[in-house]
Amino acid sequence: MKVLFIGGTGNISTGCLQPTLDKGHELFIFNRGQHPAEIPPGVVCLRGNARNKDDMAKLASSHRFDVVVNFIAFNPDDVALDIEVFGGKVLQYIYISSASIYQKPPNHYIITESSPLRNPFNPYSAKKIDAEDRLRKAFREQDFPVTIVRPSHTYGNTIPSNLGGIRDYTLVDRLRAGKEVIAHGDGETLWTFTHNSDFAAAFADLFGNLRAIGEAYHITSDEVITWNQSFQIVARECGGTANIVHIPTDYIHNVDPEMARPLLGDRTYSLVFDNTKIKQISPGFHAKVTYAEGVRRTLAYYERHPEMKKVNQQAVEGLDRVLALWHAK
C-alpha cells in the first residue's frame, strides 16, 4: 500500500518508519523539514505545511494514498482540513490522538477504549477530544474512513519524567550527580511507558484493515510501574542515585504551574491500559521493550550522540526552587 505520514519526524512517528517499510508498504512523509530526524532509506520526503490548505490540496491531488496517518493534528480545524482534502480519496485515515483524553479523575484505573472521554484540566486533551468528535461526525455523515489511535507516554531516544523540563539528559545528569528529584504524591501512582518500537509493531497492522474503520485503539506496553520505580530504574541504569522527594501535586502546581502542567489531568492518576482490542487486530502484538531496556537504549544513544547531552538549566533552576520552598516549610 501507499502510506503517507503527516509529520514523520516526531518521537512516535520516527519509530514507525522502518516497521512500515518492513511490511512492504511504500512510505511517504510530509512536513516542513524543520525537525532533523534519522530517515531510513526508502522513505520519500515531501515538503509542505500541513496547516496550509493549498499545500494540502496539492499533496492530495498529486498522489493517491491508500492510508494517511496524521501525527500532528491537534484540534478540530486541523482534522477538518484533512477531511476536506482526503475525503473520498483514501482507503483509511488514521488520527493519532492521546490517551490523556480519558476522564480525569478516572472512574477506574483500568482504561479501555470505551472509558469516558473528559479532561477539563488539560486544554491539549480537550482539543484532542474535539478533534475526535469532528472525525466521528465525518465518519457518520460522510463515510470518512477514520481510525483513531490513542498512545500513552510513548518514548524513543528519550527518557520520560513526570514534570515539565526534567526529562531526557536533564534527568540523567541530575541522577548521576545524586541530586534530589521530585515524585508527585507518594510516588506510588501506577504508570505505563511504551517504547516507540513496540508501538510501531502493532500500529502497522492497522493499515488497510477494514475492521479498524470507525474504531479507536490504544497501543501501550503491558508493563506497569510506579513513578518511584521509574526514577530508580533510570538511576540504576545510568549509575546514579534516586534521591526522591515526595511532594503533593497541588503544592507543585501552586508554586510552579508550568512545571506541574504534565501532572494535572494526566500523570497524577494511576492508569493501566487494557490492550485487548488492539491485540484482536494484531494477534502477535507483545510489547518486548521493558522500561529498563528502553532506558539502556537511550543511554547508548546519548553516547553515540554526545550533542544530545543537553541540560535544561531553566527547568533545573525551577526544580531547585520548588525543592527549596518545600524543605523550608
Same domain as 206, residue 58: yes
What is the overall mean pLDDT for the chain? 95
| pLDDT tens profile 167-190 | 999 999 999 999 999 999 999 999
% of the chain at pLDDT higher than 90: 91
| pTM reported for the whole predicted model | 0.94
Count of domains in the chain?
Answer: 2
- b/e per residue, 241-256, with b = 16+ CB within 10 A? bbeeeebebebbbebb
Q: Which of 82, 65, 23, 7 is nearest to 202 (CA)?
A: 23
Mean pLDDT, range 19-44, rounded to an integer? 90
Same domain as 244, residue 207: no
Same domain as 92, residue 147: yes
Same domain as 29, residue 122: yes
Same domain as 199, residue 184: no
Maximum separation of any 2 CA atoms in the chain, in Å: 63
List, in sequence order, the alpha helices (H) in 23-122: 53-62, 76-86
Same domain as 28, residue 122: yes
| pLDDT tens profile 218-269 | 999 999 999 999 999 999 999 999 999 999 999 999 999 989 988 988 999 9
% of the chain at pLDDT higher than 70: 100
Tell me what pLDDT residue 9 has: 87
